[in-house]
Amino acid sequence: MRFLIRALLFLIVLGALCIGVAYLAAPRVIAGPVIELRSPEKFVGQNSSLEFLVQAPASRFSKVEATLEQEGQSTTVFSLDPAKAGNAEVKQDSADRMWVIRRIGRQTIPTLKAGPARLTITAARPVLYGLRDVSTTTTRDLQVRLEPPRVAVVSLHHFVNHGSAEFVVLRATPADVQAGVRVGDHEYRSYPGTSVGISDPAVRVAFFALSYDQDLKTPITVFARDEAANQATSAFDYRVFPKPFAHSKIIVDDAFMQKVVPQIAETAPEANIPTDNLLNGFLKINRDLRKENNAKIASMATKSRPEMMWREGFSLGNINVEARFADFRTYYYQDKEIDRQVHLGYDLATLQHAPIEAANRGVVIYAAPLGIYGNAVILDHGLGVQSLYGHMLTSDVKEGDAVEKGQTIGKTDSTGLAAGDHLHFTMIVDGVMVSPVEWWDPHWMEDRVFRKIREAGGKAPERAGATAPKATKRRAG
Protein backbone atom coordinates (compact mmCIF):
# COMPACT_ATOMS: atom_id res chain seq x y z
CA MET A 1 0.00 0.00 0.00
CA ARG A 2 2.77 2.42 0.97
CA PHE A 3 4.50 1.55 -2.30
CA LEU A 4 1.42 2.48 -4.28
CA ILE A 5 1.05 5.76 -2.40
CA ARG A 6 4.70 6.62 -3.00
CA ALA A 7 4.42 5.70 -6.66
CA LEU A 8 1.31 7.86 -7.03
CA LEU A 9 3.01 10.80 -5.31
CA PHE A 10 6.03 10.35 -7.58
CA LEU A 11 3.85 10.42 -10.68
CA ILE A 12 2.05 13.53 -9.44
CA VAL A 13 5.32 15.31 -8.75
CA LEU A 14 6.74 14.17 -12.07
CA GLY A 15 3.61 15.32 -13.91
CA ALA A 16 3.71 18.68 -12.17
CA LEU A 17 7.36 19.00 -13.01
CA CYS A 18 6.68 18.21 -16.68
CA ILE A 19 3.82 20.67 -16.78
CA GLY A 20 6.02 23.30 -15.20
CA VAL A 21 8.82 22.68 -17.68
CA ALA A 22 6.36 22.77 -20.56
CA TYR A 23 4.79 25.94 -19.19
CA LEU A 24 8.15 27.66 -18.98
CA ALA A 25 9.41 26.31 -22.32
CA ALA A 26 6.19 26.85 -24.29
CA PRO A 27 7.16 30.23 -25.79
CA ARG A 28 10.40 28.73 -27.09
CA VAL A 29 9.19 25.36 -28.42
CA ILE A 30 5.63 26.11 -29.54
CA ALA A 31 5.22 28.53 -32.43
CA GLY A 32 3.03 31.55 -32.03
CA PRO A 33 0.54 32.68 -34.69
CA VAL A 34 1.77 33.59 -38.15
CA ILE A 35 1.42 37.27 -39.04
CA GLU A 36 1.60 38.48 -42.66
CA LEU A 37 1.43 42.26 -43.06
CA ARG A 38 0.34 43.21 -46.58
CA SER A 39 -0.14 46.96 -46.31
CA PRO A 40 0.85 49.67 -45.77
CA GLU A 41 4.36 49.03 -47.08
CA LYS A 42 6.08 52.38 -46.57
CA PHE A 43 3.55 55.17 -46.26
CA VAL A 44 0.31 56.12 -44.56
CA GLY A 45 -1.84 58.83 -46.11
CA GLN A 46 -5.23 60.44 -45.78
CA ASN A 47 -7.07 57.19 -46.51
CA SER A 48 -4.60 54.31 -46.42
CA SER A 49 -5.50 50.67 -45.84
CA LEU A 50 -4.21 48.33 -43.12
CA GLU A 51 -4.35 44.73 -44.31
CA PHE A 52 -2.84 41.75 -42.50
CA LEU A 53 -3.32 38.02 -42.05
CA VAL A 54 -3.06 36.02 -38.83
CA GLN A 55 -2.92 32.24 -38.81
CA ALA A 56 -3.27 29.70 -35.97
CA PRO A 57 -4.79 26.20 -35.65
CA ALA A 58 -8.58 26.51 -35.85
CA SER A 59 -8.10 30.32 -35.68
CA ARG A 60 -8.01 30.17 -31.90
CA PHE A 61 -6.60 33.53 -30.83
CA SER A 62 -6.42 34.96 -27.36
CA LYS A 63 -5.22 38.30 -28.71
CA VAL A 64 -4.92 40.11 -32.03
CA GLU A 65 -4.04 43.77 -31.77
CA ALA A 66 -2.59 46.42 -34.07
CA THR A 67 -1.32 49.77 -32.83
CA LEU A 68 0.12 52.83 -34.55
CA GLU A 69 2.64 54.83 -32.53
CA GLN A 70 3.76 58.41 -33.15
CA GLU A 71 5.83 60.62 -30.83
CA GLY A 72 5.32 58.24 -27.91
CA GLN A 73 1.54 58.15 -28.32
CA SER A 74 0.02 54.77 -29.25
CA THR A 75 -3.37 54.36 -30.94
CA THR A 76 -5.09 50.98 -31.17
CA VAL A 77 -6.29 50.54 -34.75
CA PHE A 78 -7.56 46.96 -34.36
CA SER A 79 -8.32 44.56 -31.54
CA LEU A 80 -10.40 41.42 -30.98
CA ASP A 81 -12.05 43.45 -28.25
CA PRO A 82 -15.13 44.88 -30.00
CA ALA A 83 -14.75 48.11 -28.06
CA LYS A 84 -11.32 48.67 -29.63
CA ALA A 85 -11.80 46.97 -33.00
CA GLY A 86 -12.63 50.10 -34.97
CA ASN A 87 -14.48 49.86 -38.26
CA ALA A 88 -12.59 46.80 -39.46
CA GLU A 89 -13.51 44.03 -41.88
CA VAL A 90 -12.60 40.56 -40.64
CA LYS A 91 -12.70 37.68 -43.13
CA GLN A 92 -12.10 33.97 -42.58
CA ASP A 93 -10.72 32.43 -45.81
CA SER A 94 -9.93 29.06 -44.18
CA ALA A 95 -10.25 27.33 -40.82
CA ASP A 96 -6.83 28.56 -39.74
CA ARG A 97 -6.54 31.98 -41.42
CA MET A 98 -8.14 35.31 -40.61
CA TRP A 99 -7.79 38.51 -42.66
CA VAL A 100 -8.14 41.94 -41.12
CA ILE A 101 -8.75 44.99 -43.33
CA ARG A 102 -9.19 48.49 -41.94
CA ARG A 103 -8.80 52.03 -43.14
CA ILE A 104 -6.06 53.93 -41.35
CA GLY A 105 -5.32 57.54 -42.09
CA ARG A 106 -6.38 61.03 -41.14
CA GLN A 107 -10.00 60.19 -41.93
CA THR A 108 -10.09 57.41 -39.32
CA ILE A 109 -7.31 58.59 -36.96
CA PRO A 110 -7.79 62.36 -36.49
CA THR A 111 -4.66 62.65 -34.32
CA LEU A 112 -2.39 61.39 -37.11
CA LYS A 113 0.50 63.72 -37.96
CA ALA A 114 2.93 63.94 -40.84
CA GLY A 115 6.23 62.24 -40.03
CA PRO A 116 7.54 58.86 -38.86
CA ALA A 117 5.28 56.24 -37.27
CA ARG A 118 5.58 52.62 -36.17
CA LEU A 119 2.94 49.96 -36.78
CA THR A 120 2.96 47.01 -34.34
CA ILE A 121 0.84 43.87 -34.69
CA THR A 122 0.71 41.27 -31.92
CA ALA A 123 -1.16 37.96 -32.10
CA ALA A 124 -1.36 35.30 -29.37
CA ARG A 125 -2.95 31.86 -29.14
CA PRO A 126 -3.65 29.58 -26.15
CA VAL A 127 -1.60 26.40 -25.65
CA LEU A 128 -1.33 23.70 -22.93
CA TYR A 129 -5.12 23.49 -22.66
CA GLY A 130 -5.35 27.22 -22.14
CA LEU A 131 -2.74 27.40 -19.37
CA ARG A 132 -0.37 29.55 -21.40
CA ASP A 133 -0.33 31.85 -24.45
CA VAL A 134 2.32 32.00 -27.12
CA SER A 135 2.57 35.20 -29.11
CA THR A 136 4.12 36.74 -32.24
CA THR A 137 4.85 40.40 -32.84
CA THR A 138 5.77 42.19 -36.04
CA THR A 139 6.59 45.86 -36.50
CA ARG A 140 7.00 48.15 -39.49
CA ASP A 141 8.37 51.69 -39.61
CA LEU A 142 6.28 53.98 -41.79
CA GLN A 143 6.13 57.57 -42.97
CA VAL A 144 2.88 59.50 -42.67
CA ARG A 145 2.18 61.79 -45.62
CA LEU A 146 -0.97 63.88 -45.37
CA GLU A 147 -0.41 66.71 -47.84
CA PRO A 148 -2.09 65.82 -51.16
CA PRO A 149 -0.09 66.25 -54.38
CA ARG A 150 -0.86 68.96 -56.88
CA VAL A 151 -1.50 68.60 -60.61
CA ALA A 152 -2.53 70.92 -63.44
CA VAL A 153 -2.40 71.00 -67.23
CA VAL A 154 -0.11 73.57 -68.81
CA SER A 155 -0.62 72.78 -72.52
CA LEU A 156 -3.43 74.25 -74.64
CA HIS A 157 -5.79 73.01 -77.35
CA HIS A 158 -6.64 69.36 -76.73
CA PHE A 159 -8.76 67.81 -79.49
CA VAL A 160 -9.59 64.12 -79.12
CA ASN A 161 -10.93 62.04 -81.99
CA HIS A 162 -12.93 58.99 -80.96
CA GLY A 163 -10.59 55.99 -81.10
CA SER A 164 -7.53 58.21 -81.36
CA ALA A 165 -4.74 59.73 -79.28
CA GLU A 166 -3.90 63.17 -77.91
CA PHE A 167 -0.91 64.71 -76.13
CA VAL A 168 -0.81 66.77 -72.93
CA VAL A 169 1.82 68.61 -70.91
CA LEU A 170 1.11 68.77 -67.17
CA ARG A 171 2.75 69.84 -63.93
CA ALA A 172 2.72 67.55 -60.87
CA THR A 173 4.33 68.00 -57.46
CA PRO A 174 6.10 66.76 -55.42
CA ALA A 175 8.63 65.14 -57.71
CA ASP A 176 8.07 61.53 -56.64
CA VAL A 177 4.33 61.31 -57.36
CA GLN A 178 2.78 59.19 -60.09
CA ALA A 179 0.88 61.31 -62.57
CA GLY A 180 -0.94 60.97 -65.85
CA VAL A 181 -4.30 61.15 -67.58
CA ARG A 182 -7.38 59.21 -66.52
CA VAL A 183 -9.93 58.45 -69.24
CA GLY A 184 -12.86 56.74 -67.61
CA ASP A 185 -11.27 53.98 -65.55
CA HIS A 186 -8.08 53.73 -67.64
CA GLU A 187 -4.94 55.55 -66.53
CA TYR A 188 -2.27 56.70 -68.99
CA ARG A 189 1.16 57.22 -67.48
CA SER A 190 3.12 60.43 -67.82
CA TYR A 191 6.87 60.70 -68.40
CA PRO A 192 9.38 63.28 -67.14
CA GLY A 193 9.55 66.45 -69.20
CA THR A 194 13.30 65.92 -69.41
CA SER A 195 12.54 63.14 -71.92
CA VAL A 196 11.65 65.89 -74.42
CA GLY A 197 14.16 68.50 -73.24
CA ILE A 198 12.01 70.34 -70.67
CA SER A 199 14.22 71.32 -67.73
CA ASP A 200 11.48 71.94 -65.13
CA PRO A 201 11.45 68.76 -62.95
CA ALA A 202 7.74 69.21 -62.14
CA VAL A 203 6.66 69.03 -65.78
CA ARG A 204 5.42 65.73 -67.24
CA VAL A 205 4.21 64.72 -70.70
CA ALA A 206 1.66 62.07 -71.59
CA PHE A 207 -0.16 60.57 -74.53
CA PHE A 208 -3.71 59.41 -73.88
CA ALA A 209 -6.66 58.18 -75.93
CA LEU A 210 -10.42 57.95 -76.00
CA SER A 211 -10.76 54.29 -76.94
CA TYR A 212 -13.16 53.23 -79.69
CA ASP A 213 -15.27 51.36 -77.09
CA GLN A 214 -15.60 54.30 -74.67
CA ASP A 215 -18.52 56.70 -74.68
CA LEU A 216 -17.95 60.17 -76.11
CA LYS A 217 -18.93 61.60 -72.72
CA THR A 218 -16.29 59.61 -70.83
CA PRO A 219 -14.67 62.00 -68.33
CA ILE A 220 -11.01 62.89 -68.93
CA THR A 221 -8.90 64.34 -66.11
CA VAL A 222 -5.25 64.55 -65.10
CA PHE A 223 -4.25 62.98 -61.79
CA ALA A 224 -1.34 62.79 -59.38
CA ARG A 225 -0.98 60.11 -56.67
CA ASP A 226 1.75 59.65 -54.09
CA GLU A 227 2.95 56.45 -52.42
CA ALA A 228 0.64 57.07 -49.48
CA ALA A 229 -2.34 56.91 -51.91
CA ASN A 230 -3.05 60.63 -51.48
CA GLN A 231 -4.48 61.80 -54.77
CA ALA A 232 -5.37 64.97 -56.63
CA THR A 233 -7.22 65.41 -59.91
CA SER A 234 -7.75 68.36 -62.19
CA ALA A 235 -10.06 68.95 -65.12
CA PHE A 236 -8.77 70.57 -68.29
CA ASP A 237 -10.15 71.92 -71.54
CA TYR A 238 -10.61 69.42 -74.34
CA ARG A 239 -13.01 68.71 -77.17
CA VAL A 240 -14.11 65.28 -78.33
CA PHE A 241 -15.02 64.58 -81.94
CA PRO A 242 -17.09 61.57 -83.03
CA LYS A 243 -15.70 59.43 -85.82
CA PRO A 244 -17.67 56.94 -87.89
CA PHE A 245 -16.56 53.33 -87.62
CA ALA A 246 -17.10 50.84 -90.42
CA HIS A 247 -19.35 47.77 -90.16
CA SER A 248 -18.37 44.84 -92.34
CA LYS A 249 -19.73 41.43 -93.21
CA ILE A 250 -17.07 38.71 -93.28
CA ILE A 251 -17.77 35.39 -94.97
CA VAL A 252 -15.96 32.42 -93.45
CA ASP A 253 -15.73 29.24 -95.51
CA ASP A 254 -14.14 25.82 -95.04
CA ALA A 255 -11.13 26.65 -97.21
CA PHE A 256 -10.28 29.68 -95.07
CA MET A 257 -10.66 27.75 -91.82
CA GLN A 258 -8.57 24.89 -93.17
CA LYS A 259 -5.83 27.40 -93.91
CA VAL A 260 -5.78 29.34 -90.63
CA VAL A 261 -6.94 26.98 -87.85
CA PRO A 262 -4.17 24.30 -88.04
CA GLN A 263 -1.51 26.97 -88.61
CA ILE A 264 -2.50 29.07 -85.60
CA ALA A 265 -3.03 25.98 -83.43
CA GLU A 266 0.56 24.95 -84.16
CA THR A 267 2.04 28.35 -83.31
CA ALA A 268 -0.12 28.80 -80.17
CA PRO A 269 -0.20 25.35 -78.51
CA GLU A 270 -0.98 26.88 -75.12
CA ALA A 271 -4.39 28.00 -76.46
CA ASN A 272 -5.60 24.38 -76.90
CA ILE A 273 -7.33 25.15 -80.18
CA PRO A 274 -9.39 22.20 -81.48
CA THR A 275 -8.47 21.15 -85.01
CA ASP A 276 -10.88 18.23 -85.38
CA ASN A 277 -13.77 20.69 -85.71
CA LEU A 278 -12.69 23.65 -87.82
CA LEU A 279 -15.61 25.89 -86.89
CA ASN A 280 -15.04 25.41 -83.16
CA GLY A 281 -11.34 26.01 -83.71
CA PHE A 282 -12.01 29.21 -85.64
CA LEU A 283 -14.38 30.55 -83.00
CA LYS A 284 -11.87 29.84 -80.22
CA ILE A 285 -9.24 31.71 -82.21
CA ASN A 286 -11.49 34.63 -83.12
CA ARG A 287 -12.85 35.06 -79.60
CA ASP A 288 -10.55 33.69 -76.90
CA LEU A 289 -7.17 33.87 -78.61
CA ARG A 290 -7.92 37.36 -79.95
CA LYS A 291 -8.62 38.52 -76.38
CA GLU A 292 -5.43 36.85 -75.08
CA ASN A 293 -3.33 38.34 -77.88
CA ASN A 294 -4.67 41.84 -77.25
CA ALA A 295 -4.01 41.48 -73.52
CA LYS A 296 -0.42 40.47 -74.28
CA ILE A 297 -0.01 43.49 -76.55
CA ALA A 298 -1.38 45.74 -73.79
CA SER A 299 1.13 44.27 -71.32
CA MET A 300 3.97 45.47 -73.57
CA ALA A 301 3.25 49.00 -72.35
CA THR A 302 5.49 48.34 -69.35
CA LYS A 303 8.45 48.01 -71.74
CA SER A 304 8.12 51.52 -73.12
CA ARG A 305 11.17 53.73 -72.57
CA PRO A 306 11.02 57.17 -70.95
CA GLU A 307 12.34 58.95 -74.03
CA MET A 308 10.97 60.27 -77.29
CA MET A 309 12.86 58.26 -79.87
CA TRP A 310 11.19 59.77 -82.93
CA ARG A 311 11.93 63.26 -84.22
CA GLU A 312 9.52 63.37 -87.17
CA GLY A 313 6.12 62.05 -88.26
CA PHE A 314 5.33 58.38 -88.76
CA SER A 315 5.17 56.94 -92.26
CA LEU A 316 4.67 53.65 -94.09
CA GLY A 317 5.12 54.84 -97.66
CA ASN A 318 2.63 54.62 -100.52
CA ILE A 319 0.48 51.64 -99.43
CA ASN A 320 -3.14 50.84 -100.28
CA VAL A 321 -5.68 50.71 -97.43
CA GLU A 322 -7.91 47.64 -97.51
CA ALA A 323 -9.43 47.85 -93.99
CA ARG A 324 -9.49 50.54 -91.33
CA PHE A 325 -9.27 50.86 -87.57
CA ALA A 326 -12.30 49.88 -85.43
CA ASP A 327 -14.07 47.98 -88.20
CA PHE A 328 -17.02 46.26 -86.49
CA ARG A 329 -17.18 42.87 -88.19
CA THR A 330 -19.97 40.32 -88.29
CA TYR A 331 -18.81 36.82 -89.30
CA TYR A 332 -21.01 34.43 -91.30
CA TYR A 333 -20.63 30.74 -92.03
CA GLN A 334 -23.08 29.02 -94.37
CA ASP A 335 -25.34 32.11 -94.30
CA LYS A 336 -25.56 32.11 -90.48
CA GLU A 337 -24.05 34.67 -88.14
CA ILE A 338 -21.41 33.00 -85.97
CA ASP A 339 -19.45 35.82 -84.32
CA ARG A 340 -18.82 39.56 -83.92
CA GLN A 341 -15.43 41.16 -83.35
CA VAL A 342 -13.70 44.52 -83.87
CA HIS A 343 -10.70 44.86 -86.18
CA LEU A 344 -8.20 47.14 -84.40
CA GLY A 345 -5.79 48.20 -87.08
CA TYR A 346 -5.27 49.09 -90.72
CA ASP A 347 -4.84 46.40 -93.37
CA LEU A 348 -2.29 47.66 -95.90
CA ALA A 349 -1.20 45.95 -99.10
CA THR A 350 0.92 46.45 -102.23
CA LEU A 351 2.68 43.41 -103.67
CA GLN A 352 2.97 39.87 -102.35
CA HIS A 353 5.85 39.54 -99.86
CA ALA A 354 6.43 43.29 -100.02
CA PRO A 355 9.09 44.79 -97.74
CA ILE A 356 7.77 46.22 -94.47
CA GLU A 357 9.38 49.45 -93.29
CA ALA A 358 9.52 50.66 -89.70
CA ALA A 359 7.13 53.59 -89.35
CA ASN A 360 9.62 55.45 -87.17
CA ARG A 361 12.69 55.11 -84.98
CA GLY A 362 12.32 52.65 -82.14
CA VAL A 363 13.42 49.48 -80.41
CA VAL A 364 12.08 45.99 -81.09
CA ILE A 365 10.28 44.69 -77.99
CA TYR A 366 8.61 41.69 -79.66
CA ALA A 367 9.41 39.61 -82.74
CA ALA A 368 7.66 36.21 -82.80
CA PRO A 369 4.34 34.53 -83.68
CA LEU A 370 1.40 36.26 -81.99
CA GLY A 371 -1.77 34.24 -82.54
CA ILE A 372 -4.26 36.00 -84.81
CA TYR A 373 -1.57 38.49 -85.87
CA GLY A 374 0.69 35.73 -87.19
CA ASN A 375 4.38 36.53 -87.30
CA ALA A 376 4.52 39.95 -85.67
CA VAL A 377 6.87 42.73 -84.63
CA ILE A 378 6.18 45.39 -82.01
CA LEU A 379 8.35 48.51 -81.90
CA ASP A 380 8.58 50.79 -78.89
CA HIS A 381 9.03 54.45 -79.78
CA GLY A 382 9.08 55.71 -76.18
CA LEU A 383 6.65 57.67 -73.99
CA GLY A 384 4.18 54.77 -74.12
CA VAL A 385 3.94 54.88 -77.94
CA GLN A 386 4.33 51.58 -79.84
CA SER A 387 3.54 50.21 -83.29
CA LEU A 388 2.52 46.69 -84.32
CA TYR A 389 3.19 44.91 -87.62
CA GLY A 390 1.28 41.66 -88.21
CA HIS A 391 0.74 38.81 -90.72
CA MET A 392 4.42 38.92 -91.67
CA LEU A 393 6.22 36.27 -93.70
CA THR A 394 9.54 36.79 -91.98
CA SER A 395 11.10 39.17 -89.51
CA ASP A 396 14.50 40.70 -90.19
CA VAL A 397 14.86 41.99 -86.62
CA LYS A 398 14.97 40.53 -83.13
CA GLU A 399 14.02 41.73 -79.68
CA GLY A 400 16.35 44.46 -78.49
CA ASP A 401 17.33 45.70 -81.96
CA ALA A 402 17.28 49.45 -82.54
CA VAL A 403 15.69 50.38 -85.88
CA GLU A 404 15.56 53.55 -87.93
CA LYS A 405 12.56 54.98 -89.72
CA GLY A 406 12.19 53.33 -93.14
CA GLN A 407 14.40 50.35 -92.20
CA THR A 408 13.10 47.05 -93.57
CA ILE A 409 11.97 44.85 -90.67
CA GLY A 410 10.40 41.98 -92.66
CA LYS A 411 8.02 41.03 -95.46
CA THR A 412 4.24 40.85 -95.78
CA ASP A 413 2.33 37.57 -95.91
CA SER A 414 -0.91 36.00 -94.64
CA THR A 415 0.21 34.33 -91.40
CA GLY A 416 -2.28 34.34 -88.54
CA LEU A 417 -5.93 35.15 -89.14
CA ALA A 418 -5.51 36.67 -92.59
CA ALA A 419 -7.32 35.93 -95.85
CA GLY A 420 -4.54 37.22 -98.08
CA ASP A 421 -1.10 38.81 -98.22
CA HIS A 422 -1.08 42.18 -96.43
CA LEU A 423 0.30 44.09 -93.44
CA HIS A 424 -1.80 44.60 -90.33
CA PHE A 425 -0.61 47.84 -88.76
CA THR A 426 -1.75 49.70 -85.69
CA MET A 427 -0.50 52.23 -83.16
CA ILE A 428 -0.64 51.60 -79.42
CA VAL A 429 -0.69 54.19 -76.62
CA ASP A 430 0.08 52.83 -73.15
CA GLY A 431 -1.39 49.46 -74.09
CA VAL A 432 -4.48 50.81 -75.87
CA MET A 433 -4.75 50.36 -79.65
CA VAL A 434 -5.57 53.60 -81.45
CA SER A 435 -6.13 54.73 -84.99
CA PRO A 436 -2.86 55.38 -86.87
CA VAL A 437 -4.41 58.19 -88.94
CA GLU A 438 -3.21 61.09 -86.77
CA TRP A 439 0.30 59.65 -86.55
CA TRP A 440 0.54 59.76 -90.35
CA ASP A 441 -0.60 63.40 -90.44
CA PRO A 442 2.35 65.86 -90.30
CA HIS A 443 0.02 68.69 -89.21
CA TRP A 444 -1.26 66.67 -86.24
CA MET A 445 2.26 65.75 -85.16
CA GLU A 446 3.34 69.39 -85.37
CA ASP A 447 0.27 71.02 -83.79
CA ARG A 448 -0.75 68.39 -81.26
CA VAL A 449 2.69 67.22 -80.10
CA PHE A 450 5.80 69.15 -81.14
CA ARG A 451 4.37 72.64 -80.67
CA LYS A 452 3.22 71.83 -77.14
CA ILE A 453 6.70 70.58 -76.30
CA ARG A 454 8.33 73.76 -77.60
CA GLU A 455 5.82 75.98 -75.77
CA ALA A 456 6.74 74.21 -72.52
CA GLY A 457 10.44 74.88 -73.12
CA GLY A 458 11.34 71.54 -74.65
CA LYS A 459 13.07 70.54 -77.83
CA ALA A 460 11.16 69.38 -80.89
CA PRO A 461 11.62 69.71 -84.66
CA GLU A 462 9.91 72.63 -86.37
CA ARG A 463 7.95 70.53 -88.84
CA ALA A 464 7.30 66.80 -89.21
CA GLY A 465 6.69 65.14 -92.54
CA ALA A 466 4.78 61.90 -93.13
CA THR A 467 3.04 59.94 -95.83
CA ALA A 468 -0.47 58.59 -95.34
CA PRO A 469 -1.48 55.37 -97.13
CA LYS A 470 -3.96 55.58 -99.99
CA ALA A 471 -7.44 54.18 -99.40
CA THR A 472 -8.80 51.39 -101.57
CA LYS A 473 -11.27 48.60 -100.81
CA ARG A 474 -11.73 46.86 -97.45
CA ARG A 475 -10.76 43.27 -96.84
CA ALA A 476 -10.64 40.68 -94.08
CA GLY A 477 -7.57 40.16 -91.95
pLDDT tens-digit map of 433-456? 999 999 999 899 999 999 999 999
Band (183; pLDDT cuts 50, 70, 90): very high
pLDDT of residue 244: 94
Instruction: Categorize the per-residue pLDDT at 477 as very low, low, confident or very high, splitting at 50, 70 and 90.
Output: very low
- Per the prediction, the chain carries an average pLDDT of 90
Q: How many CB atoms lie within 10 A of CB 127?
A: 22
Q: What is the pLDDT of residue 391?
A: 97
Class of domain 33-144: mainly beta
Fold that domain 150-241 belongs to in CATH: Immunoglobulin-like (2.60.40)
Q: How many CB atoms lie within 10 A of CB 8?
A: 10
pLDDT of residue 66: 94
Q: Residues 6 or more apart from 6 whose CB is under 8 A from it?
A: none
Within the chain, all domains assigned CATH 2.60.40.10 are found at 150-241
pLDDT of residue 31: 84
pLDDT, position 372: 98
Provide the β-strand partners of residue 356.
410
Q: Residue 473: is its pLDDT beyond 50?
A: no
Q: Which ranges in the chain are annotated with CATH 2.70.70.10? A: 247-471
Question: Coil, strand or helix: which one is 447?
Answer: helix
User: How many other CB atoms sit within 10 Å of the CB of residue 253?
Assistant: 10
Instruction: Lowest mean pLDDT of 16-30, 209-223, 423-437, 453-467, name the range.
Output: 16-30
Predicted local distance difference test score (pLDDT) of residue 463? 62
Q: What percent of the chain has pLDDT over 90?
A: 76
Which has the minimum average pLDDT: 91-105, 199-213, 234-248?
Answer: 91-105
247-471, what's its fold?
Answer: Glucose Permease (Domain IIA) (2.70.70)
Q: Where do the CATH 2.60.40.1930 domains begin and end in the chain?
A: 33-144
Query: Quick one: average pLDDT of 350-368?
Result: 95
Residue 472: predicted pLDDT: 47
Q: How confident is the model at residue 470 (pLDDT cuts 50, 70, 90)?
A: low
pLDDT digits (tens, 9 = 90+) for 310-337: 999 999 876 788 899 999 999 999 999 9
Q: What is the mean pLDDT of residues 261-279?
A: 95
| pLDDT(6) > 80 | no
**pLDDT at residue 471 is higher than 90:** no
Tell whether omega for the bond before 174 is within 30 degrees of 0, i.e. cis: yes
pLDDT band at residue 83 under the 50/70/90 scheme: low
Asked if residue 458 has pLDDT above 80, the reply is yes
Supply the pLDDT for residue 230: 93
Compute the average pLDDT of residues 395-405.
Answer: 97
pLDDT for the residue 468: 56
Band of residue 27 on the pLDDT scale cut at 50, 70, 90: low
Mean pLDDT value of segment 140-167: 96
Overall average pLDDT of the 23-49 stretch: 81
Scored b (16 or more CB within 10 A) or e, 355-376 reads ebbbbbbbbbbbbebbbbbbbb
* Spatial CA neighbour of 433 closest among 344, 316, 341, 342: 344
CA quadruple 306, 309, 313, 315: dihedral positive or negative? Answer: negative
